[in-house]
């Protein structure tokens, strides 16, 4: 009987020294025994990379990919996905490193991948939600997902979320290395490409929480990029 392929989890980091050790411990508790946790660090000035190296030295299932500079969430995921596919992963998970995504949800996400090609941790399906955000930020988030859903013509409720589990076939088919989005538009585009390619996408309810420690990486530039790239995705589809 062939060996079971490992589950890989790609964890991008930038200035997450205060969160990294605890989130790695929590993730390792919830992943199956055949696992690999890849930390992708963008040369964090707060010492995150050094902590990651120590954790990799302590745990055989943890590895680190160091990048020379901060280049954005999208390129970090592209680099991590490339490593995971080369490492024979069957399932590739992604999540934030600041506890806004709860590692306790990982078993449910992985279980859902038994009947889906792409699993989304969704704030906007029944049972999901957002904790600790004010009304303005909640409105921006909901409007962002609604805007993308309307322009792209797909029924996914939470298009901007970053808690996902891909089957390797999805990443191999959607041309993820050609996605140029730097910020959260990357999340929209990977899901959109999966839907357009005919893969089965399932949303699993999660409760999203504000980060435990540190500052949010959200910025006006990230919001603007997403607003501009969504219609470009639709136009690119029509031009084919």
User: Secondary structure of 166-204 in the HEC alphabet?
Assistant: EEHHHHHHHCHHHCCCCCCHHHHHHHHHHHHCCCCEEEE
What's the mean pLDDT in 197-226? 76
Regarding predicted confidence, which is higher, 239 or 20?
20
Does the pLDDT at position 69 exceed 90?
no
Residue 142 tokens read as: 């909901």
Tokens 């906007």 sit on residue: 124
Residue 148 CA to its chain's centroid (Å): 17
Alpha carbons 31 and 205: distance in angstroms, whole number: 19
Question: Are the beta carbons of 229 and 181 closer than 8 angstroms?
Answer: yes
Domain 7-238 fold is Spore Coat Polysaccharide Biosynthesis Protein SpsA; Chain A (3.90.550)
Does the pLDDT at position 231 exceed 90?
no
The pLDDT score that the predictor gives to residue 1 is 40
Does the pLDDT at position 236 exceed 70?
no
Q: What's the N-to-C CA distance of the chain in angstroms? A: 43
Which residues partner with 152 through β-bridges?
none
The model's pLDDT over 79-92, given as tens digits with 9 standing for 90+, comes to: 999 999 999 999 99
Does the pLDDT at position 235 exceed 80?
no
Instruction: Give 214's contacts (C-beta < 8 A, 6+ positions apart).
Output: 15, 16, 18, 19, 98
Could you tell me the residue ranges of all domains in the chain?
7-238
The model's pLDDT over 95-129, given as tens digits with 9 standing for 90+, comes to: 999 999 999 999 999 999 999 999 999 999 999 99
The pLDDT score that the predictor gives to residue 219 is 52
């Amino acid at each position: 009987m062939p060996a079971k392929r490992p589950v890989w989890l790609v964890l991008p980091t930038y200035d997450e020294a205060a969160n990294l050790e605890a989130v790695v411990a929590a993730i390792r508790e919830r992943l199956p025994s055949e696992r690999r946790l890849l930390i992708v660090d963008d040369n964090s000035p707060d010492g995150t990379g050094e902590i990651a190296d120590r954790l990799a030295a302590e745990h055989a299932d943890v590895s680190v990919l160091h990048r020379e500079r901060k280049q954005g969430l999208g390129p970090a995921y592209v680099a991590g996905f490339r490593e995971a596919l080369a490492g024979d992963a069957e399932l590739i998970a992604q999540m934030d490193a600041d506890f806004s995504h709860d590692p306790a949800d990982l078993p449910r996400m992985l279980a859902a991948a038994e009947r889906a090609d792409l699993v989304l941790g969704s704030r906007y399906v029944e049972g999901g939600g957002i904790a600790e955000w004010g009304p303005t930020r909640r409105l921006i988030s909901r409007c962002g997902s609604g805007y993308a859903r309307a322009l792209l013509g797909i029924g996914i409720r939470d298009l901007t979320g970053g808690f996902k589990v891909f089957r390797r076939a999805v990443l191999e088919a959607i041309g993820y290395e050609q996605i140029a989005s730097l910020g959260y538009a990357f999340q929209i585009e990977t899901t959109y490409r999966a839907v357009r390619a005919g893969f089965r996408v399932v949303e699993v309810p999660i409760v999203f929480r504000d980060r435990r420690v540190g500052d949010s990486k959200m910025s006006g530039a990230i919001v603007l990029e997403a607003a501009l790239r969504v219609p470009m995705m639709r136009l690119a589809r029509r031009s084919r």
